[in-house]
Amino acid sequence: MSNSVPLSRPVVIDRPESRSTQSRPLMKWATWLLAGHLIALLFGLAGILIAIPNSDLWADTTYGPRAYEFGMKYGGATHIIFGAAAMFMYGMAVIGLRKTGIFFACATIISFFSELIGTSTGEPFGNYTYTNFLGYKLFDHVPFSIPLSWFYVGFATFLIGYVLADMLALNPKSLFAIIFGGWLLTVWDLVLDPAMAHESLNVKFWIWSETGAYFGMPGQNFFGWALTAVLFMGLARLLWMATPPTDGRSLRVWFPAAVYILNVVFASALSASVDLWLPIAFAVVLGVIPVLATLWPGRTQAAAA
């Protein structure tokens, strides 16, 4: 009788390079959508800062009035739709459809009800109402684009939070990812909110019915932002039942970092147009610099096998 041991069937190992090959088409689509997001942001800035206050530049042109009409009707929500689509496609590529879908559901549902309660009762953000520039309003209160905005920027900051936790060797990583993610999302609002509702801006996206210490805004607004962010990020992580990759290379952190920085730059341009310079400084120091640190050469770890 032979003493040789029969060979077992070869084991297929899910290597990072194999996953990378499988996700390449998704990342290609995500990158194209990110480009669309950038173009829509630039289109929005051009409309708000140039076209609207200087109608004499385009009123007598062939396509100027059409572009203006399109921008006024769809421009406010277009960059949000592109951003949400880009982050969803990116999420499918790096952490899979299940986790991305869970985060999408948690972020949009929780943020929608938070905004609905906020616009109806004044809690937890303060007393405010949305105008019609961000698209059709759900229940006549919350533009459909607002929960999408919470999703795509919140998803970006949450995954960046994991990379920051990994860089700083902080555990449990998921807890610190929620803290960092909520922090970065709230920092974005530090520069976004004062500009978007400023009395000097030609287009107002929401209107405050009360004033406060932060450039005319109530301070509780930022508590509401942080609370909403922590709720949907925490619930999504709970339902994931697993920690995603935490190193920058596996997460392709350049992508959520680009999304975050582009949106901070957009908000900063609006703030600069109405001479709000301190919020820009806050956003750069408290948000952009930590995000850029995740891209510093040598800081991201190699993907685990």
> Residue 1: which pLDDT band, with cuts at 50, 70 and 90?
very low
177 located within any domain: yes
Q: CA–CA separation, 235 vs 231, rounded Å?
A: 6
Residue 145 belongs to domain spanning:
96-293
92 pLDDT above the threshold of 70: yes
In this structure, the dihedral spanned by the alpha carbons of residues 280, 285, 291 and 293, taken in order and rounded to 10 degrees, is 140
Average pLDDT over residues 190-200: 86
Q: How confident is the model at residue 202 (pLDDT cuts 50, 70, 90)?
A: confident
pLDDT at 44: 86
Q: In the prediction, which pLDDT does 10 show?
A: 43
Whether the Cβ atoms of residue 73 and residue 145 lie closer than 8 Å to each other: no
- Identify the pLDDT of residue 219: 87
- pLDDT at residue number 209: 86
End-to-end CA distance of the chain, in Å? Answer: 40
pLDDT score of 84: 98
Query: Please, how many CA atoms are within 13 Å of residue 128, restricted to the half-sphere of its CB?
Result: 29
111 part of a folded domain:
yes
pLDDT of the residue at 112: 97
Answer whether residue 141 is part of any domain: yes
Listed in sequence order, the residues at least 6 apart from 244 whose beta carbon sits closer than 8 Å to its beta carbon are 94, 95, 99, 159, 162, 251
User: Do residues 221 and 126 touch, judged by C-beta distance below 8 A?
Assistant: yes
The pLDDT of residue 11 is 37
What is the pTM (predicted TM-score) of this model? Answer: 0.87
In a domain, 168, yes or no: yes
pLDDT in tens, 218-273: 889 999 999 999 999 999 999 999 999 898 888 999 999 999 999 999 999 999 99
Residue 238 gets the label, from left (phi > 0), alpha (psi -120 to 50) or beta, of alpha
Domain total for the chain? 1
Distance of alpha carbon 95 from alpha carbon 303, whole angstroms: 13
Angle at 170 between CA 30 and CA 156, to 5 degrees: 20
Do you find a cis peptide bond into 124, omega within 30 degrees of 0? Answer: yes
Q: Where are the beta strands (DSSP E) in 113-235?
A: 128-130, 137-138, 142-143, 206-208
Residue 3 lies in a domain: no
Percentage of the chain modeled with pLDDT above 70: 83
Span 55-65, mean pLDDT? 67
Q: What is the pLDDT of residue 24?
A: 85
Does 178 score more than 90 pLDDT?
yes
Q: What is the mean pLDDT of residues 189-210?
A: 84
Question: Quick one: tokens of 202?
Answer: 């030609």
**Residue at 17 is within a domain:** no
Tokens 């009409």, residue? 69
For residue 21, tell me if it sits in a domain. no
Q: Report if residue 15 sits inside a domain.
A: no
Cis peptide before 143 (omega within 30 of 0): no
pLDDT tens, 126-152? 899 998 888 889 999 999 999 999 999
